[in-house]
A = this chain, B = another copy of it.
Amino acid sequence: MAQEKTYKIAVIPGDGTGPEVIREGVKVLDAAAERFGFKLSYNYFDWGGERYLKTGDTIPKGGIDELRKHDAIYLGAIGHPDVTPGILEKEILLRIRFELDQYINLRPVKLYPGVWTPIKDKGPEDIDFVVVRENTEGLYAGGGGFLRKGTPQEVAIQESINTRFGVERCLRYAFEFCRKRNKKKTLTLVGKTNVLTYAWNLWERTFYEVAKEYPDIKTDYAHVDATCMWFVKNPEWFDVIVTDNMFGDIITDLGAIIQGGMGIAAGGNINPEGVSMFEPIGGSAPKYTGKNVINPLAAICAGMMMLEHLGEEEAARAIENAVIKVCRDHLKSLSAGKMGYSTSEVGDLVANYT
């Protein structure tokens, strides 16, 4: 009998409701593994706010190298009400993205049937696009500093650092992704070429250069401000979007809300040649912690993306179909406390349908 394939998963449940939603995610992943004949072995990491408050430590020495030994990382949520904002985000989340060179943040924006969207007259056929966000440079590079800090003459500079190397690999990923997705075969660059004339000149030049290698892909461009309007007014215009780190952060949250909110939105931090990390994109939701009311679907969808990334396409599709069934036939709402089911019941439902 052939040896079953085993994937080593690093699990970082994190803060707040992170552990609760990850528990349901693991339940569903195990159900899928069982059904589709592969194995998942999990190593848990207790990184997050609690540990930081106890030890003063965010990621212990050697921690990043531990992550490298895995096939993928499954993250719950980072963020603790008693920790100054920025510390955990920068020293855990952003540090992993940067050190593991997860240079793509992949955010599907897909409205499932039966899911409530706050925008009028749009259905699942209108809201189905993917944002490819650069994930390792731009304004997130941490460049900048203060001059005369604390004086009336203070200057604070924040630099968006963009490299041909970083921009090009992100664009190539987006073109390839658009080709494989094979929907409208249209890639839209979202930027601000008319004002940020250094950063977006590099992006635009590289975009049209790389585009020559993809004659089958139509290219388009939109300013980031106009894009926000179109997400609400004409989301059906988009197929695949590529943008920088900061604009990607902004438009993907807007994308999350039109696809039904934090209860369902998931994303992948991808290094195509390395170790990638998958996460629900909502926060740690402290006020719902331990109440068994938070929606685990976003974490479950992150798990689904992880399986797809690992090559288990069939299992991923089974989870997606189970999520669609649960949204359509069961949940009253995707919001915490209003689902008509508890966190663990939702996990059970999806696991059963998978």
Interface residues of A (CB under 8 A from B): 85-86, 89-90, 94, 117-121, 139-140, 142-146, 151-165, 192-202, 224-226, 228-229, 232-233, 246, 249-254, 256-258, 261
Contact = CB atoms under 8 A, between A and B. Distances in A.
Copies of the polypeptide in the assembly: 2
Contact of A202 (B139, B143, B154, B251): B154
Contacts of A165: 152-153
Nearest to A206: B154
Contact of A201 (B142, B156, B198, B253): B156
Nearest to A234: B118
B196 A158 contact: yes
* Interface core residue of A199, A251, A256 (most chain B CB under 10 Å): A199
Contact of A162 (B94, B158, B201, B225): B158
Given A229-B257, A253-B226, A194 B89 contact: yes
A139 to B, nearest CB: 6
* Interface core residue of A94, A152, A202 (most chain B CB under 10 Å): A202
A232 B250 contact: no
Contact of A250 (B145, B157, B225, B256): B225
B160 A158 contact: yes
A164 B147 CA distance: 10
A313 B157 CA distance: 39
Contacts of A143: 157
Contacts of A90: 194-195, 197
Contact of A157 (B194, B199, B224): B199
Contact of A194 (B86, B121, B154, B257): B86
A105 to B, nearest CB: 12
A161 B157 contact: yes
B199 A228 contact: no
Counting from the closest, the 4 A-B pairs by CB-CB distance are: A156-B202, A225-B253, A154-B164, A158-B199
Given A155-B164, A158-B160, A158-B199, 20 more contacts: A89-B194, A94-B195, A117-B120, A118-B232, A144-B160, A145-B198, A151-B164, A155-B162, A155-B163, A156-B162, A157-B159, A157-B199, A158-B162, A158-B196, A158-B198, A160-B160, A196-B246, A225-B249, A228-B228, A232-B258
22 contacts: A86-B193, A90-B194, A90-B195, A118-B233, A145-B198, A146-B202, A151-B164, A152-B164, A152-B165, A153-B163, A153-B164, A155-B163, A156-B201, A158-B160, A158-B196, A160-B160, A224-B249, A228-B254, A228-B257, A229-B257, A232-B232, A233-B261
Nearest to A244: B158
* Interface core residue of A89, A142, A246 (most chain B CB under 10 Å): A246
A157 B146 contact: no
Contacts of A163: 153-156
A228 B202 contact: no
A254 B142 CA distance: 27
Contacts of A151: 164
A29 to B, nearest CB: 28
Contact of A119 (B120, B142, B229): B120
